[in-house]
Amino acid sequence: MEIARRNLVRWFSGRRLVRAEADDTRIFRGAELRHFTELSGRLESLVRRGKYLLFAFEGGRGLLGHLGMTGKFVRRTEGQGEPYSRARFHLDDGHVLHFSDARMFGRLEPAPAAQLRELDVVKALGRDPLADGLTAGQLEKAVAPSRQPLKVALMDQARITGLGNIHAAEALFRAGIHPSREPASLSPDEWKRLVGAIRATIDFGLKEQEGEEPVYLEEGRSENPFLVYGRAGGPCSRCGTPVESFTQAGRTTHFCPKCQPRSGVHASKPRAGKR
């Protein structure tokens, strides 16, 4: 999402939106299409909060954007097609920015720019490690109260925002902490390692995609760039032990059983009032 933001800022820089048009799909979340097609002019600001983008256009109009699973912004030239293009920004330099999204889990919801931060889904977001900074203490305060397994708690956008399934697994691997650990059981040193690992995971992801057009995991890459995600059955990149996977809250979690030992894991479901 941060790469998408940087691309959009660059593409819009010094240019004007001369025409916005789109297909009427669920990405507009029921809003009237004219609220989108009325957008025009300069992009005055583009702020990212977690996985959301807050667009502010000249004239006070705005958009709340989210890529969902398969959404992406791509730049094409006028007249050039783009598969699964759902909405298009025509710029005054002959380029067209497409919001392309096969599964349409993404969102491009028109709203007055001044109100974007007040939308419920935005207000509900926790601290953003990249935009706000994150200390070990802040991470602990946000995540330790969760009764969920640690990886699930890290993906809870109301605690800290921005981590999805891949980055949560990658951060836990870097920190050497098992994804099923009970958040309240982490030591001060583990919180410190985890916050550093989150930062390293984000930095790695940014560096990895720097200057690239948005790509899917499988496109344009011969090889999985992640340390543990998607490597089930294969050797751990650090110790060679076979990587394992299991399901947490409906998502697949990958981890190395040796680098991320099971000590301190949830017994199962901790019951209140145990002694």
Partner DNA sequence: ACCGCTGTTCTCCG
Partner DNA sequence: TCGGAGAACAGCGG
Could you tell me the smallest distance in angstroms from the CB atom of residue 248 to DNA? 8
* Cα separation, 127 vs 270, whole angstroms: 27
Could you tell me the smallest distance in angstroms from the CB atom of residue 223 to DNA? 13
**CA 6 vs CA 13, 16, 106, 202, 214: distances in Å:** 10, 17, 18, 15, 11
**Residue 238: in which H helix or E strand, if any?**
none
Could you tell me the smallest distance in angstroms from the CB atom of residue 214 to DNA? 7
Could you tell me the smallest distance in angstroms from the CB atom of residue 106 to DNA? 8
- Picking from 122, 73, 114, 113, the residue whose alpha carbon sits closest to that of residue 95 is 73
Residue ranges binding DNA (CB under 7 A): 26, 50-51, 66-69, 102-105, 107, 121, 146-148, 152, 155, 157, 164-166, 205, 209, 215-218, 249-252
Angle between helices 188-209 and 2-12 (to 10 degrees): 40
- Nearest to DNA of 250, 273 (CB atom): 250
- Picking from 87, 57, 61, the residue whose alpha carbon sits closest to that of residue 72 is 87
- Nearest to DNA of 138, 148 (CB atom): 148
What length is written for the chain? 275
Give the bridge partners for 235, in sequence order.
242
- Nearest to DNA of 17, 48 (CB atom): 48
* Cα separation, 133 vs 146, whole angstroms: 21
Phi, psi angle pair for 36, to nearest 5°:
-85, -45
| CB count in 10 Å sphere of residue 256 | 24
Could you tell me the smallest distance in angstroms from the CB atom of residue 261 to DNA? 21
Could you tell me the smallest distance in angstroms from the CB atom of residue 16 to DNA? 29
Give the bridge partners for 54, in sequence order.
47, 64
Could you tell me the smallest distance in angstroms from the CB atom of residue 235 to DNA? 18
- Nearest to DNA of 87, 166 (CB atom): 166
- Nearest to DNA of 11, 84 (CB atom): 84
- Nearest to DNA of 19, 147 (CB atom): 147
**Residue 115: in which H helix or E strand, if any?**
none
Could you tell me the smallest distance in angstroms from the CB atom of residue 127 to DNA? 15
Do residues 270 and 182 lie in contact, with contact meaning Cβ atoms separated by under 8 Å? yes
* Cα separation, 202 vs 163, whole angstroms: 9
- Nearest to DNA of 18, 215 (CB atom): 215
Residues 6+ apart with CB under 8 A from 214: 3, 4, 7, 72, 73, 74
- Nearest to DNA of 155, 236 (CB atom): 155
